[in-house]
Structure 1
Amino acid sequence: DLTVVRAFFAAWVFAYHVDLHAQFSGYLGPFAGFIRHGYLGVDGFFMLSGLILAAVHPAKELKGANIARFWGKRLARIYPVHLAVMLILLVIVATGLALGFTPRDAERFTAGSFIANLLLVQGWGVGEHLAWNYPSWSVSTEWAGYLMFPLLWMFLGTWREIIPGQIMVICFAVLGMIAYEAGETLNLTYANALWRFFPEFIIGMATLRLVPLNADFMPNKWLASISLVAIILLTSVSSFDILTVFALWVLLSALAMQADAERPPVIRNPRILRFLGQISYSFYMSFGTIELLLAQLFRQEGWDPAVNKLAYSTAMTILTLALAIALHRLVETPARRLADRWLAAPEPLAVAGQPL
C-alpha cells in the first residue's frame, strides 16, 4: 500500500504541473480543484517519509557509526538521480546557449543556484526562485530531515505514546498557523520550505508510535476509502490546505495500520502500480527537465499548450515516464545496491568458544 501510494502522490504533483501549462482541469467541472491542489502530493511525501524512516530505523539502533551509515545510505538514495538530472540540465542549457537559444527564465540557471542545488541546500532558504531542476527543492528539505532524523527519533521513539500524540497535535496547529499566514495555502517552496516540511515529517514519525495501538480494531479499509473521497472533496470545495493534509494523514495512517495488523492491502496491488510506486522518485525528478524542453519546443513552434492540451499532456507523460524509467534502472537502482554493499553494517566478530 505505501509503495503504491507513492505513485498516487507523484502523479498528483505531475498533473498539477502539467495543468499549469495545458489548463485541462477546467474540464473536470467541480472537481477541478483536485488537480489545482496537486502540489499537496508533496505534503503526502513528507509525512510518508517520516513514517517509513521511523518504521525502518528503530531509535535504539541510531547510535555512533550507525548514524553516519544511515546518512550515507539516505544520501545514496536521493543524490545520484539528483546529480544525473542536474548534469542533463547543464548539458541542455549549455547546448541551447551555444545554438543561440536563451532560456525564458535566465535567472533560474545561475552559477550560484547551480552550486546550491549540488549541495542540496536550495530548499533551506538560501534562494527564493525556482532554479535548475526546480522540483528538487523538496528533496533538499528531505535531506535536512534525514540529517535531523536521529535526534528527532531519539526523542519521539523513546517517549510513551501520549507524547507523540501531543506533538502531532502541536504540529498540525503549527501547519494551520503557517497556512493561515500564507493565505490558507501550504504551497510554500524554497525560502519557506522547511516550515512546511518539518511539521509534516514529524507527524509522519509520530504516527508510527500510535499505529500499533489502533491497528487491530480500526476499520482501516473504510478509513482509507473515506479519506481518499475527503481529499477529492476538500480540494474541490475548500482552499484551506491544512484540511486536505489532515485527510492525507488519515489515509497514510489507515494504510500503515492495515500493514501493522498484517491484513491484505487496502489498495489492489497490480504489478503496474507497484512499478510506478518504485519509480516514483525518478518520475518526480524527471518532469521538470521534460517540461523545460517541451515549453521551449512549443514556444519555438508557436504552439500554445493551453490550446494543444492533449498533445502537450501526452508528450509530457510519455517523455517523463521514459526518462524516469531510464534513471531508475541506470542510476537509482545501481546506486542503491552499491550503497547497500559499501555501507552494510559490519558482521559481528565470532565469540571465542562459539562455532563460526
Structure 2
Amino acid sequence: MALGRSSRLPSLSGLRFVAAAAVVAQHASLVWTHGHGESATLLRLGFAAVTFFFLLSGFLLTWAWRPGQPVPVFWRRRVARILPTHLVTLLIGVLLLAATGRAVPLWAWLPNALLVQTWSPGFDLLDPGVNGVSWSLCCDLLFYLLFPVIARRAAAIRSAHLWAWAAAAVAAAVLIPVVLTAARPGSGGPSFGLGVTLRQIWLCYTFPPARLPEFLFGVVLARLVREGRLDGVRTWHGAAAFALLYPLDQLSPLLFGVAAITVLPLGALIVGAANADRLGRPSRLAHPAAERLGALSLTLYLSHYLVIEYGDALLDPYGTADGLRPLLYTAVLVAGSLAAAWLLHALVEEPSVRALNEPRRRTAPVTLPDRPKETS
C-alpha cells in the first residue's frame, strides 16, 4: 500500500474554502435580485459546492481513520466540530427573527436545532426555518453516525474491487435523479419551480440517505489514493473536467444538476489536490493563507446567509438599489460574512473543539495525612 510522502492534506483545506466561497456567491446574488431569489445561473454552482463537501467528508474521514479508534471518541470529535457553531448560529437566527418582529414558532427551530428537519417530507427548501443552510448538517450527521461501520466495511474491500465500488457509488448518484424524474413524486402538489416538484427536490437534494452515494464515493476515493492507484491525477484534471461539464450541468434538468453530472470531476479535483500534498507537487492551494481560510469554511458556511439576508434588508430595505450600489453592498456583505466567520471560528468553534476533545483526566484519590498520635 503506497502511503505517499505526506499524511497532511493542506490543499484540500484550501479547496474547502473555494467551495464555501461558491455557496456565498450563490447566496450573495440575493442582492442583485433585490431579495426575490438567488441567481438561477449560480444555483448549480451552489449544488456543486454541496456535492464537493459531501465527497470531501467521506474522503477526509477515511483518510484520518485508524483501525481500533474508539467509536464514541470519533462521534464526540465530530459533534464537537459542528454542533456548537450550529447552535450558536441558530440562536442568532432566532434573535434576528424576533428583532424584526417575526414569530419564532417551535416547529421552525426545534427540528433545525436537532438536525432532523430534512427527514420530513414536509421540508420546504424555499422556507427552511431559522438558518436554512444548516440543512446539509442533517446529512453530515447521518454520515458520522454510519461512518464507523462504513470504515470497517471499506477497509475490508479487496483492492481489486475498489473500482467496482467507485463505479457503483457514481451509478447510484446518477440513478437517483433518473428514478425521481421517471416517477415524479409529488406531481400535482407544491412546485419548487424550474420544472420539479418540492417532493422531488427534497428526495434528491436534502433527504440525507439520497446524499450517501457522494459520501461513499469519497470513502472509496480515499482508499484508491492511499494505495497509489490514482497517482497520475492532478488538480487541473478535475478543474478542467468540471469547467467542461458545467455548461452541460446548466442545460440539464435540475435534478441531474444536484450531483449526477459533477460528482466525477469534483472527485477528480479532490484526488488531484490530495496527490499534490502526498507526492510533494507544488500547489497554491497548500499556501498557509489558503489553509487558514479553509479553516473558516464551516463557520463561513453557517453564518453567511444570515449576514446576507439581514444585511441586504438593512442596506436596501425597499429593493431599489441600482448602478454601482449592488456591487458595493455585495462587497460589504461578503466582508461581513468573513468577519462573522472569523469571530465564530475564534470564539466558538476552536474553543468548543478544544474543550470537548480534551481527554478526561481521572482525579487522583485524595490521601489524608495520618493524624498525629495524641500523647498523654
Once residues 341 and 9 of structure 1 are traced to their aligned partners in structure 2, the CA distance between those partners, rounded to angstroms, is: 30
Do the aligned partners of 1:137 and 1:189 also contact (CA within 8 Å) in 2? no
**Given residue 132 of structure 2, which amino acid in structure 1 is its aligned partner?**
Y
SS in 1 for 2:262: helix
Do the aligned partners of 1:171 and 1:203 also contact (CA within 8 Å) in 2? yes
Task: Name 1:61's counterpart in structure 2.
Answer: 68
CA offsets, 1:27-70, max 9 Å, x none? xxxxx956742321011000100111111112x224xxx11111
Task: Name 2:152's counterpart in structure 1.
Answer: 154
Q: Could you list the runs of 5+ residues in structure 2 that have no partner in the other structure?
A: 1-10, 35-39, 182-194, 363-376
Task: Name 1:250's counterpart in structure 2.
Answer: 268
**Given residue 67 of structure 1, which amino acid in structure 2 is its aligned partner?**
V
**Given residue 84 of structure 1, which amino acid in structure 2 is its aligned partner?**
V
**Runs of 4 or more above 6 Å deviation:** 184-187
SS in 2 for 1:87: helix
Task: Name 2:175's counterpart in structure 1.
Answer: 177
Task: Name 2:75's counterpart in structure 1.
Answer: 71
Task: Name 2:164's counterpart in structure 1.
Answer: 166
Change (3 A) 1:134 1:268: closer
Once residues 198 and 329 of structure 1 are traced to their aligned partners in structure 2, the CA distance between those partners, rounded to angstroms, is: 31
Equivalent residue in structure 2 for 1:4, among 8, 14, 31: 14
CA offsets, 1:98-141, max 9 Å, x none? xxxx4xxx7xx531131111111123336412121111111121
Q: CA deviation at 1:267?
A: 3.1
Task: Name 2:307's counterpart in structure 1.
Answer: 290
- Is residue 2:220 matched to residue 1:210? no
Task: Name 2:188's counterpart in structure 1.
Answer: none
Length-normalised TM-score, structure 1: 0.81
Q: CA deviation at 1:270?
A: 3.2
Change (3 A) 1:268 1:43: closer
Structure whose CA Rg is larger: 2
- For residues 319-334 of structure 1, the aligned pairs below 5 Å read 319-334=336-351
Q: CA deviation at 1:16?
A: 1.4
Percent sequence identity is 27
CA offsets, 1:211-239, max 9 Å, x none? 13336851x43xx1132122123222433
Equivalent residue in structure 2 for 1:51, among 55, 59, 71: 59
Once residues 273 and 228 of structure 2 are traced to their aligned partners in structure 1, the CA distance between those partners, rounded to angstroms, is: 12
Do the aligned partners of 1:33 and 1:235 also contact (CA within 8 Å) in 2? no
Once residues 161 and 233 of structure 1 are traced to their aligned partners in structure 2, the CA distance between those partners, rounded to angstroms, is: 31
- Is residue 2:243 matched to residue 1:263? no
Do the aligned partners of 1:124 and 1:141 also contact (CA within 8 Å) in 2? no
Once residues 170 and 215 of structure 1 are traced to their aligned partners in structure 2, the CA distance between those partners, rounded to angstroms, is: 18
Length-normalised TM-score, structure 2: 0.77
Task: Name 1:142's counterpart in structure 2.
Answer: 140
Once residues 354 and 203 of structure 2 are traced to their aligned partners in structure 1, the CA distance between those partners, rounded to angstroms, is: 31
- For residues 212-227 of structure 1, the aligned pairs below 5 Å read 212-214=226-228, 217-218=231-232, 220-221=233-234, 224-227=235-238
Select the structure that is richer in helix: 1
Q: CA deviation at 1:195?
A: 3.8
Alignment size in residue pairs: 321
- For residues 16-95 of structure 1, the aligned pairs below 5 Å read 16-22=26-32, 33=41, 36-58=44-66, 60-62=67-69, 66-95=70-99
